[in-house]
Each structure stands twice: as structure tokens, then as C-alpha cells.
Amino acid sequence: MIKCPHCGKEFEESDNKTIPWYYSDVCVVIAILVLGPLALRLIWRNPRYTPMVKTIITVIVIVITVLVIVKFYEVMQSTTRQLQELGF
């Protein structure tokens, strides 16, 4: 039994749960950078974030993902046009 020094309440040792390492902010940022929108599940299961924070992060990740897809499409069109001008 663990006793709280402030209120005197006794806790079982199993009540003292720690958050797994993969919910740390560093791991979440790395997951977003590496996995993009696939990391949203990690964000939504993270007990440290409020629903508002989860929603904001989700919107940001989706917006960035859409921008990356649009830019990739523009680059592919430009590359295709340049290859056609060269005769390929």
C-alpha cells in the first residue's frame, strides 16, 4: 500500500499506472513525420491528450497530407510534360 502524503489516502500499487513510452510527445512527432496520417490512431489512443487536442492534431495532419498529395501531383505532371518535350 502507498499512502498519499497530502491527503492520506492509501493506494494499491496497481493503481499507480505509468503511460507507455510510445505515447510520449517525441514518439508521437516522429510517428507523424514517418507515417503521416497512419499515426492518427496513436494520437487518438493517447491518454495524455484531450479530445480537443486530438481533433486539432488530426485536422493539421489531414491538411498537411492533402497539401503533400497536391504538390506531388503537380511535380508528376511537370515531370511528365518535360519527358514528353524530350521525346520520351
Contact between 47 and 23 under an 8 Å Cβ cutoff? The reply is yes
pTM of the model: 0.70
User: What's the sign of the alpha-carbon dihedral 26, 27, 29, 34?
Assistant: positive
pLDDT at 13: 62
Per DSSP, what are the bridge partners of residue 3? 10
Please report, in tens digits, the pLDDT of each residue of the chain (88 residues total): 677 778 878 776 654 568 888 899 999 999 999 999 999 999 999 999 999 999 999 999 999 999 999 999 999 999 999 999 999 8
